[in-house]
Structure formats: structure tokens, C-alpha cells
Chain A
């Protein structure tokens, strides 16, 4: 059940979060997402997400080096990431508070 709930981690949000600190190319994004967020993005999923985020103006491509093109988050991307992460933060806070109230769970 826990694994199935992991699916709520939206790939576009993961990619935006990965690019929030510095520009990265495809492999660097997948590795960062796997190491820091525990989600493996397949090549198909990653480039579907990159195409969507680029079309929406949330990320932009930089000059490619040896076929490896880095992407950086845009101002609009930062705003979208801030809004989504704030919403997720509120949900997480609410969930933890209710768990504490109902069964004394204090979180990990």
C-alpha cells in the first residue's frame, strides 16, 4: 500500500524540485530524483515531463554539451513549485496533526 501511495509524487513536481537549485541534464535529473526523493523516473516519463514543462514555460533549455542539454527552472516554474510545495506542506502538516490527535503517532 505504501508503494502505491508513492505514486502521488507527481513527476513534473519532482523535476521542478530537482531543478530548483541548479540546472541539470536528463541523467542528472533522474539521479537526483532517485537519490533525494526515492523515485526512479524512466526515460519515457522524464522526457514526456520535460516536454510538457518546457511547453508550459516552467523550465527552459540551455546550450547542449555533447548531446546532454541542461535545463533550468524559470521564474514561472519557481512560482509554480512554491505554490505546489506550499499546498503539499499544508496537506502534510494537516495529516500529521490528525494522526497525532487520533492515535498519538508522532511522525517519523
Chain B
């Protein structure tokens, strides 16, 4: 069969293909590029690919389904989203409960604080219990295979938070009353803290993708990621309700009457919590439902 054109697929098509799940891209992207080189590419072709990408995520064809890859992807996504939510939660706690005065307003706010504290504590403990065995397994794997880049990525989970805490402690020692110099110290600590959280979670996430560990540690980490995502999302929702409550019932306290800031906070919390819980749900489904289905087929 003759081929009318021999042009590359174009940047729009490449962008549209990037929207597909990695397993789908690995299997079909080259064929799609070849098809578009033969048939000719256009914005409409790129648009049709982009539109179909959503359904490829929702209903991944069974022959492309890699159970452990799905679990690893969920653990990595939840780790990054969980770090962001925990960081947001700590900022919330600092701005509300750790101000040195009794929390104001409605009893609903008190209940939200309590739910927030308990849920965040459970989330941190669960994340540690599920994440440490996988982290240790990856350290051993990277050392055995001489993967030094991955070792550096994995070490970021410990080195970066330690460096951040050390820097914060030194700064507090040097500057005796940072609260007297206005909000800038707090803003600087918060921004650096989010940077540290991003680095310390992205490192292990990258190592997880490159080392492709398997076995019970991945399943345990995925189950823990599910619980950690659910509880940190609950903490985030409780803090969002409390933030709305503070805007309504505690306007006399400084800083609690900026409804615009509270609205941004609620939107950020909802978006990150949704990302974490959806990804965790997909990982849990791969861990338990697909394992049962595979067992049934094998039997």
C-alpha cells in the first residue's frame, strides 16, 4: 500500500500521546506515530488522540495491565501528594492550634481540630509503617545492583528533612524572636519546607520507578498508601471545614477573616486529596481485586 506522506507526527501529537498511561504508550505509541506519518497529522488527529486518552486511563485494556507497575505508580503518586498535604496540614496547625491561645469560635472548629490531629497522626504512622520496609528493600536492591543515582534519590528521603530541620533549628538559635520581625520568617520556613517535602518525596518516587521493586513490600506499601491517603485526606477536609469555620465565627482573631485565602486553601486541599485518594484506590484495586482474579484464573 502506498504512503502519501512521510512527515513526523508533530508536537501536538506527541503531547497528546503523553496523556496516555505509560503501558499504553509503550505498546501503541510507535504504531500511532507510524500511522500519522503515513496518513498525515493534523490538529484534529491530535485532538482525537487527546480525547481518547481519558478512557485509556479509566478502562485500561486487560492485556496492558501490569499489576505491580500500577501499585508502584500509586505508591509514588500518593507519596508526593501525601507529602504536600502533610506540609499543608502542618502549616494549618501552625496557624491555628500552635498560636499559644485557646482556639476560638464554634464547637465545630474544636471537633475539626481533634479529627485533624488524630487523622494526621494515624496517617504519618501508617505511611512510616508501610513505606520504611519498601525503602529498605530498594536501598538493598540499589546497593546490590550498584545503582548509585537511585541510592542518592532514596537518601533524599532522610537527608533533606534532616537538613531542613537542622537549618530551621540553627535559624531559630540565631534569630531569637523571629515572630517579632513579621511573617517573613514563617513564609520562608514554609516555602523551604514545601521544597524539602517535594525533594524528599520525589527522590524515592523516582527510585521506585527506576528500580521496579516487587513482592510483599510493594503490596504492603500500597495498602499503607491507601490508609495514609484516606486519613490525610480526612485531615485535610477537617482542616478545610475548620478554615471555613474560622472565617465565619472567628473574625476577631488576626488572619482568620481572609475568605479568599481560605478558599484557595480549601481548593488546594481538595485537589491534592482527590489525587491521592483516586491513585490510592487504583493501587488498592490492583493489590487486592486483581490478585484475587489472578488467583482464580490460576486455580
Contacts and interface: CB of A to CB of B under 8 A. Distances in A.
Contacts of A48: 52, 55-56
Q: How large is the interface on B (under 10, 10 to 19, 20 to 34, 35 or more residues)?
A: 20 to 34
Interface stretch (B59-67, B114-122, B132-140, B288-296): B59-67
Given A30-B39, A55-B61, A64 B31 contact: yes
Interface in B245-298: none
A78 to B, nearest CB: 20
Contacts of A90: none
Contact of B48 (A26, A28, A43, A50): A43
A66 interface: yes
Contacts of A26: 31-32, 34-35
A88 interface: no
B59 to A, nearest CB: 8
A67 interface: yes
A45 B1 contact: no
B49 interface: yes
Given A27-B39, A54-B61, 20 more contacts: A25-B31, A26-B35, A28-B1, A30-B35, A31-B1, A31-B39, A42-B49, A44-B16, A44-B50, A44-B53, A46-B35, A47-B31, A47-B32, A47-B52, A51-B27, A51-B64, A54-B63, A55-B64, A67-B34, A68-B34
6 contacts: A27-B38, A27-B39, A31-B1, A42-B49, A43-B32, A68-B35
Interface of B: 1, 3, 13, 16, 24, 27-28, 30-36, 38-39, 44-45, 47-53, 55-56, 61-64
